[in-house]
Amino acid sequence: MSTYNLDITRERCPMTFVKAKLHLEQLEPGDTTEILLTAGEPLDNVPRTATEQGYQVLESIHVRDNIHKLIIRKP
Amino acid sequence: MAEQQKLSIISMSGDFDKVIAVFTLASGAAAVGYQVNIFFTFWGLNSIKKVTGRSFIGSGFMARFFNFLLGGRKNLPLSRLNFGGLSPILMTGMMKGKNVATLEELFDASKALKVNFYACEMAMHVLGLGREDFIPEVKDVLGVASFLELSKGGQTLFI
């Protein structure tokens, strides 16, 4: 089991979703990852699509200003 | 998991800005879990040519001449204010400066997310192009009937 990190706070659509998707694809079952993202489109959609694709969004934490952190696990 | 949604795009334009729209939608949709198909026809074929610049490819004098003028993915013109090819270079610089993905990045993302590329058989015939003139990621060469079949049940866009 490994822990990964991804920062997509500087990315713009559609690369926010592209990088999140490619990052999640490299997880093995049981792995968790922390994704830093901004409020708005990324925060609205990354957790939703991750859930739709079978990942577990364990936590969504407000870090500072408009930056949030998601903790996602591949079951 | 919900049933996979599907987006099919007919890419006809060879304009830089419209091709960016094609690959933005394609990579974005694939990233949020859609099955994405792109059917490249006429000038849209320029973006999947193996040669990315100007080159005399194709069979027949007229076809080779046309393909030289059309070029490939790295010399697509802007639909307005192209200024002899200067504007796409400036636009790419502006996009990089503002942290927005460039055409090449969107194209690479589409390939990485396994977007399905299809080439139009009729347009290839007119332009004297063969399968070997395109990137290996092109999954198949299709006609209208096959494209309608594979886009059935999803959303279709014409760009």
Q: Is residue A31 part of a domain?
A: yes
Roughly how many angstroms between the first and final C-alpha of chain A, as a whole number?
11
The boundaries of the domain holding residue A24 are 3-59
Q: Is residue A66 part of a domain?
A: no
Q: How far apart are CA B83 and CA B94, in angstroms?
A: 16
Q: What share of chain B in percent tops pLDDT 70? A: 99
Question: What local confidence, expressed as pLDDT, does residue B64 receive?
Answer: 87
The per-residue pLDDT for range B95-145, each reduced to its tens digit, is 999 989 999 999 999 999 999 999 999 999 999 999 999 999 999 999 999
What's the CATH superfamily of B6-158?
DsrEFH-like (3.40.1260.10)
Mean pLDDT of chain B: 93
C-alpha of B125 from chain center: 17
Q: What is the ipTM of this complex?
A: 0.87
Burial A32-43, CB ≥16 within 10 A → b, else e: bbbbbbbeeebb
This prediction has a pTM of: 0.92
- Report residue A30 as tokens: 């049981």
Residue A67 to residues A10, A12, A64, B3, Cα–Cα distance (Å): 11, 14, 5, 32
Using only C-alpha atoms, chain A has a radius of gyration, in whole angstroms, of 11
Query: Which chain B residue is nearest to residue A21, measuring alpha carbons?
Result: B31
Domain parsing of chain B, residue ranges: 6-158
A54 near B CB under 8 A = yes
- Chain B residues with beta carbon closer than 8 angstroms to that of A13: 24, 28
Confidence check: pLDDT of A3 > 80: no
Confidence check: pLDDT of A37 > 80: yes
Amino acid at B118: Y
Q: Is residue A34 part of a domain?
A: yes
Q: Is residue A16 part of a domain?
A: yes
Q: Is residue A26 part of a domain?
A: yes
* pLDDT tier at A2, thresholds 50, 70, 90: low
B41 contacts B71 by C-beta, under 8 angstroms: no
- Chain B residues with beta carbon closer than 8 angstroms to that of A21: 30-33, 113
Question: What local confidence, expressed as pLDDT, does residue A1 receive?
Answer: 59
Q: Is residue A9 part of a domain?
A: yes
B36 near A CB under 8 A = no
Q: How far apart are CA B94 and CA B129, in angstroms?
A: 34
B97 near A CB under 8 A = no
Q: Is residue A39 part of a domain?
A: yes
Residue B155 to residues A31, B76, B85, B125, B138, Cα–Cα distance (Å): 34, 27, 33, 27, 21
- Chain B residues with beta carbon closer than 8 angstroms to that of A54: 1
Give me the residues paired with residue A67 across strands. Answer: A38, A64
Count up the domains in chain A and report the number.
Answer: 1
Confidence check: pLDDT of B41 > 60: yes
Q: Is residue A72 part of a domain?
A: no
